[in-house]
């Protein structure tokens, strides 16, 4: 029997890369998945891939920083599947610069997507979770729920040129540990996964102009070949991680086998940060 049968999972930023891999893995374990992405096309592509594999998912596209997003995200889970058991805050992007070149708007944008958005989603989820737990307790049942916030080794170890991103990801660690203390009585495990060097469009080798578009702004992404090689040389496993491998680290914390793990930061980095 699939280990997440009967569970409802929400994954932000799941139209591409690690998020898409995680959505597929959760569905393969039996969870019904609410797939978010900034763009409707990639979100639906993940939903379609899950359906083709025999799973169940619905799309909830849109920016996680939008004022109404938390209500829509949680509401989609409740309206479509009647429950809420797993929340993975994965959406995000980078907008790098040394600190003396980071404008306030650049700082605020990265804090909003990586730290404020997860906070607002979890705050919105509280009312449903507390109500569901009260009903389950009255019926003599204990249902374990899971929150996994996606951080980065930039947040746990620091990263030159990423003061805004590193600060937001470090803040997410603090949010994780605090919520683990607040929500333990609700049978919610709250953990954090910090990724190292994973093969995504943000870490691709720069060939010409590589950029992504976020809400009308173009952001240059990617790494120079020599920078990528230098990073890989420091990884004990000798290579970057794949999106599936990164997602596997998150899946571990969503499974019943992790029911007594909370308030922890798991670095999925191939040994880069050991």
Q: Tell whether 167 is covered by a domain.
A: yes
Q: Tell whether 213 is covered by a domain.
A: no
pLDDT above 70 for 224 = no
What pLDDT was estimated at residue 209?
Answer: 58
Tell me: the pLDDT tens digits for 234-265?
999 999 899 999 999 999 999 999 999 999 99
pLDDT above 70 for 206 = no
Instruction: State the average pLDDT over residues 218-245.
Output: 80
Tokens describing residue 80: 């479509």
Q: Tell whether 222 is covered by a domain.
A: no
What pLDDT was estimated at residue 204?
Answer: 60
For residue 138, the domain's CATH number is 3.40.50.720
Could you tell me the residue range of the domain that residue 191 belongs to? 8-197+242-268
Identify which of 183, 115, 112, 123 has the alpha carbon closest to the alpha carbon of residue 149. Answer: 115
Q: Tell whether 137 is covered by a domain.
A: yes
| Residues forming the active site | 165
Q: Of all helices (H) and strands (E), which one includes residue 59?
A: strand 56-59
d(CA 149, CA 37): 16
Strand partners, 268: 195
Mean pLDDT (the chain) is: 93
Q: Both ends of the chain: CA-CA distance in Å?
A: 35
Q: Tell whether 158 is covered by a domain.
A: yes
d(CA 15, CA 8): 18
Q: Tell whether 211 is covered by a domain.
A: no
pLDDT above 80 for 181 = yes
Between 101 and 208, whose confidence is greater? 101
**pLDDT confidence bin for 138, thresholds 50/70/90:** very high
Largest CA distance in the chain: 61
Residue 53 burial (10 A CB sphere; 0-12, 13-18, 19+): exposed
What pLDDT was estimated at residue 211?
Answer: 66
Angle at 261 between CA 259 and CA 263, to 5 degrees: 130
Task: Give the chain's domain count.
Answer: 1
Q: Where are the beta strands (DSSP E) in 60-115?
A: 86-89
pLDDT above 60 for 215 = yes
What pLDDT was estimated at residue 96?
Answer: 87
pLDDT above 90 for 203 = no
Q: Tell whether 26 is covered by a domain.
A: yes
What pLDDT was estimated at residue 214?
Answer: 77
The fraction of the chain above a pLDDT of 70, given in percent, is 92
Strand 211-214 and strand 217-220: the pairing is antiparallel
Tell me: the pLDDT tens digits for 106-124?
999 999 999 999 999 999 9
d(CA 12, CA 112): 14
Tell me: the pLDDT tens digits for 34-45?
999 999 999 999
């Amino acid at each position: 029997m699939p280990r997440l049968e009967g569970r409802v999972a929400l994954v932000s930023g799941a139209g591409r890369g690690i998020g898409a891999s995680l959505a597929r893995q959760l569905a393969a374990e039996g969870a019904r998945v609410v797939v978010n992405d900034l763009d409707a096309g990639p979100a639906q592509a993940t939903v379609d891939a899950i359906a083709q594999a025999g799973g169940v998912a619905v799309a909830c596209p849109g920016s996680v920083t939008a004022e109404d997003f938390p209500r829509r995200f949680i509401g989609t889970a409740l309206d479509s599947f009647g429950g809420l058991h797993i929340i993975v805050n994965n959406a995000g992007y980078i907008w790098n610069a040394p600190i003396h070149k980071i404008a306030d708007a650049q700082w605020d944008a990265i804090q909003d997507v990586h730290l404020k958005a997860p906070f607002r989603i979890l705050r919105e989820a509280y009312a449903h979770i507390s109500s569901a737990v009260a009903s389950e307790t009255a019926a003599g049942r204990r249902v374990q729920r899971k929150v996994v916030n996606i951080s980065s080794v930039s947040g746990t170890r620091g990263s030159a040129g990423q003061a805004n991103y590193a600060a937001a990801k470090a803040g997410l660690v603090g949010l994780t540990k605090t919520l683990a203390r607040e929500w333990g009585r609700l049978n919610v495990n709250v953990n954090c996964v910090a990724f190292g060097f994973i093969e995504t469009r943000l870490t691709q080798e720069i060939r010409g102009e590589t950029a992504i578009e976020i809400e009308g702004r173009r952001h240059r992404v990617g790494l120079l070949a020599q920078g990528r090689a230098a990073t890989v040389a420091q990884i004990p496993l000798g290579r970057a991680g794949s999106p599936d491998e990164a997602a596997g680290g998150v899946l571990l914390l969503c499974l019943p086998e992790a029911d007594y793990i909370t308030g922890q930061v798991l670095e999925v980095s191939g040994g880069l940060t050991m």
